[in-house]
A and B are shown apart, each in its own frame.
Chain A
Amino acid sequence: VQPPEKPLQAEEWNKLRDDFQLPEVFEEVMLNSMIRCNSPIDVAKSLLTHLAKRDGDIAYSVLIKYLTLCVHQGQVSEILDVYDIMKVRFKILESGAYSLLIKGLSNSDQWRMALNILEEVKKIMIPSRTCYESCIKAASRHQEMKLAFELYNEMLAKDVVPTLDVLQSFFNFSRGMEGAELQKELFGILFYLRENQIYPHKTFMRSIKLWFESIPGGNWRGHLTNIKDSGQCPVCKHQLEDSNLTEEEYSNLSERIIRDVIHGTDTFRKTSPKEFEAFQTFVENRLPFDIVIDGLNISHIKSRKMQCENLFDAVSCLAKENARLLVLGRKHMLVNSSNWKREIMKEMQNKADFFFAENISEDDAFLLYATLRSGKHCRFVTRDFLRDHKACLSDSLTRHLFCKWQRGHQIAFSTSAKGETFPLFFPQQPAFRYDCVVQTTGDTWHIPYKDVFEEKYSYQVPRKWLCIQQK
């Protein structure tokens, strides 16, 4: 439906409605299309007047649609009027109306009214993150940074995840402002990025840079750079944090892997207690390994080759450097078949230790256990992303640890054009010696960021960095 351009009389509305296929939903459809076309509110008003005259009342859903139109056009006095009407009419409103009101008012000079409404919302439910976003932005736009941070901390305390936009607005609006307290709060946001492994995008990064450089008397200078594989920053020559887990993190992670991934709710789901025990004694007697190989995964690298040949290539390639190898497989590999030749298997068993699990057991869990048990230097080979095992971990902190460890320890084979296989580190980037998170030493900050246009998968980490140092 095309909304009319000018306010209509009651008769004209009636006529339009009669011409419409489904007269019951005429008002809703009409208002929706008004919102879509951004019609002048006078037109909507004339429809409301017509409705009020006809029914003596206007439905809540219609009021909300009108409110949406007003918010889109920033009609503050209308928003206030609608709010007045709603407030007396209904004991409470629902979240949609509240966020519209807050959004509409926070962009105007009535922004404190939006804060009042937020207070009201809190009495009934936990406000949505967009509600907080509007209020925080309004407060910081009016240089009320203290208020803005109060709201921010409140939303964190309620487990409402802030949008990157909110975080960025803090940096934008604090530019050039003084105050140790403020500085501490903004550093707090940077630590929030660190703890949650969030990478700012390019414009956000720029806001951070500009804020640092604008701190009065701070003498901060920011440079964009790429960090070398060695982990040294080319600008300030500072060595980035090591990607290795701490002892505590490491033992924590191995404990969790055994508890959540291998045992889970029922040890029998992935293995059996007897088999796991056998595997444990097997591993303990031969520790430590340098590389643990997922035999079945590697054997599928090249489809034209026999599976045991693939595995043989990988094992002999890795065995060159006198590394202690462990290959995990399943019992069916021992049965002589077209894909698994007994002689080749025998030959391989001279070069590496083999453990064959039951055919219905999951060997990935064993892979993780053997690698973690061998120590920090040990790496593992598989093309698998191990997402299903990651998902078994119960909390996000351990999942982050797992990702970090995986980045530093997983080797993936890839086939080159010539048909030779080279060991490549996962995933198409070298195993990181340094940790890819926001980090500081006090007088320097290193912040990884991503280009907005660059596609980023969860397993990829940004290669671009912002280096900020104090002169």
Chain B
Amino acid sequence: MQCANMLLRKIVRNSALPFAAQHGMKKDLFPLSRTLSLSLYLKQDKSCEPAEKLDLDEWKKVMKSGLQEEVSETVSEPKELSSLAAARETLEMWRLAGKAVPEHISEEQLKTFMECPSKSAKKKYIKYLHLKELHKKNDKRKMAEKRERRLEARDETSNTEETKKSPFICLWSSTMDKAYNWRAAQSMIFGQPLVFDMSYEKEMSLREVTNTVKQIVMSESCNRRSVDPFHIHFCNFKDDSLYHREFVKQYKEAWSKLLITVTDQCYTEIFPKDKLIYLTADSPKVMKTFDHDKIYIVGSVVDRSIKRGISLARAKRLGLETAALPLEKYLLWNTGAKNLTLDQMMHILLTLKDTADWKKALEFVPKRKYCGFVNKPVNELKKTLDMIHTLKLGKGQEEVEKRFAKNHPKKYRLKQK
């Protein structure tokens, strides 16, 4: 087969010859001397050709002359590429074709790329890496600019040379840290427990686990900074789990010094069952007030693939009480899922604990997800909202009604004509 291909290729090449000749590149198409440099070419062209006449195929000559030198260089390379090198090569071609491909790819990332099950998965992964690289680059640039500005500022202040004496003590961040840690330590003795249920590792992809851990890290930090922190518990936490690995990656040495309780026990083993409330958006029960005697459980899960009811299933299995935030009651919901990120949950719970003010607490729900706070009866607001939608999007009245009927089976139905 290979042999036949070669033969075929030769024939084809030859048959293209007369064609090429027609295009007016008679004598100087084929025997290109290897030593001829590009600049020489250009000089010749300019000198001997009249300005009007244009050699349309000249670009081919240039391309070929350039590459003949390269060919001689690349001859020594091994012909068969390893699969990794081939993948790298493919990516390089993607990049040349103008696709979003990162400049640097580590061996590990390349392996992940090759393990992607489908073409679209590969594209998605590469785009993700590309964006990540862009963000990193931007951050670096901004840092450099900042540093420069700071240096300039320092130069200026050193010029003024006078050091002011302040009547206040300067509180450095380490001092603040000590204060925060003191509070966190107190919360570990007297604080209200808040449980993160770490038993969803199997339901998540690696990226989802990474996102979860990032969200928990943010939650922990805002808890530490609050006036009256929770006593955070990580329950069902297995050593050497993906969670563990990601936490160590995020916290580094600080992981062992965190003022939280980490255990592989289940919350049902630590706390009395009747005190536990599992917070889940799927719960049929809606939370009315924040109870300072209860222990709230938050599922540490990021769910990108829409696995409905996994946390509700866990609560059902253990026979625990469940609750959902009263989002519908206080907010005029617009778009997006009702499940919130873990750090948003933490903000909301902390605010509730301190103020018991739902309006203040639900400020932490992303603004894009709701249109406003409810101050009129819900059905009236809904009507206005639907009207706005009808006007804005030009949607048929029928469709609005249909959607409405779906959301509100019986209570608030629009009048039918």
- By a beta-carbon cutoff of 8 Å, the part of chain A in contact with chain B is 7, 9, 28, 42, 45-46, 48-49, 51-53, 56-61, 64, 77, 80-81, 84-85, 88-94, 96-97, 110, 112-113, 116, 119, 124-125, 265-266, 268-270, 272, 300, 303, 307, 339, 359-360
| CB of B48 closer than 8 Å to a CB of A | no
Assess whether B410 is in contact with A52, with CB atoms less than 8 Å apart: no
**Cβ contact of A303, chosen from B71, B96, B405, cutoff 8 A:** B405
Q: Which residue of B lies closest to A271 (CB)?
A: B316
Q: Are A49 and B20 in contact (CB under 8 A)?
A: no
Q: Lowest 3 CB-CB distances: which A-B pairs, in order?
A: A268-B313, A60-B96, A52-B59
CA of A278 to CA of B57 in the docked complex: distance in angstroms? 82
Residues of B within 8 A of A272 (CB): 316-317
- Interface: B143 (CB within 8 A): no
The answer to whether residues A45 and B59 also contact, given A88-B67, A116-B5 and a CB cut-off of 8 A, is yes
Closest A residue to B410 by CB, please name it: A339
Q: Which residues 65-119 in B have Cβ within 8 Å of A in the complex?
A: 66-67, 70-71, 81, 86, 89-90, 93-94, 96-98
Of all chain B residues, the one with the shortest Cβ separation from A303 is B413
B182, chain A: closest CB distance, angstroms? 42
Those of B298-340 within 8 Å (CB) of chain A: 307-310, 312-314, 316-317
Q: Which chain A residue has the least Cβ–Cβ distance from B85?
A: A91
Assess the A268–B97 pair: CB atoms within 8 A.
no
Contact of A56 among B19, B64, B66 (CB under 8 A): B66
- Residues B96 and A61 in contact, CB atoms below 8 Å apart: yes
Number of A-B contacts (CB under 8 A): 127
Q: Do residues B57 and A90 form an inter-chain contact, with CB atoms below 8 A?
A: no
On whether the beta carbons of B316 and A268 are closer than 8 Å, the reply is yes
18 contacts between A and B (CB under 8 A): A46-B56, A49-B56, A49-B58, A60-B93, A60-B96, A77-B16, A81-B60, A84-B13, A85-B64, A88-B64, A89-B67, A92-B86, A97-B93, A112-B12, A113-B8, A116-B5, A272-B317, A300-B409
A77: contacting residue among B20, B284, B316, CB under 8 A = B20
Q: Are B8 and A60 neighbours in the complex by a CB distance under 8 Å?
A: no
Task: Judge if B374 is at the interface, Cβ distance under 8 Å.
Answer: no
Q: Is B388's CB within 8 Å of the partner chain A?
A: no
Q: Which residues of A contact B58 (CB under 8 A)?
A: 49, 52-53
Q: Which residues of B contact A (CB under 8 A)?
A: 1, 5, 8-9, 12-13, 15-16, 19-20, 38, 42, 45, 51, 54-60, 62-64, 66-67, 70-71, 81, 86, 89-90, 93-94, 96-98, 203, 284, 307-310, 312-314, 316-317, 405, 409-410, 413, 416
Q: Are A85 and B56 in contact (CB under 8 A)?
A: no
Contacts of B416 in A (CB 8 A): 303
Are A94 and B97 closer than 8 Å at their CB atoms?
Answer: yes
Partner pick for A45 among B57, B71, B81, CB 8 A cutoff? B57
Report which residue of A45, A52, A60, A93 has the largest number of chain B beta carbons within 10 angstroms of its beta carbon.
A52
Q: In the complex where A56-B62, A60-B93, A60-B96 touch, is A88 in contact with B316 (Cβ < 8 A)?
A: no
In the complex, the answer to whether A85 meets B63 with C-beta atoms within 8 Å is yes
Q: How far is the CA of A89 from the CA of B58 in the complex (A)?
A: 17
Q: Tell me the smallest distance from the CB of B399 to a CB of chain A, in Å.
A: 17
Complex CA–CA separation, A270 to B70 (angstroms): 65
* Complex interface: chain B residues within 8 A of A116 (CB): 5, 8-9
CA distance A90 to B416 in the complex (A): 67
Query: Are the CB atoms of A266 and B62 closer together than 8 Å?
Result: no
Identify which of A52, A110, A113, A303 contacts B62 (C-beta below 8 A): A52
Return the chain A residue nearest B93 by Cβ: A94
Given contacts A46-B54, A88-B71, A93-B93, contact A80 B316 (CB under 8 A): no
Specify which chain B residues have a CB less than 8 angstroms from the CB of A57 in the assembled complex: 62-63, 66
Q: Are B56 and A42 neighbours in the complex by a CB distance under 8 Å?
A: yes
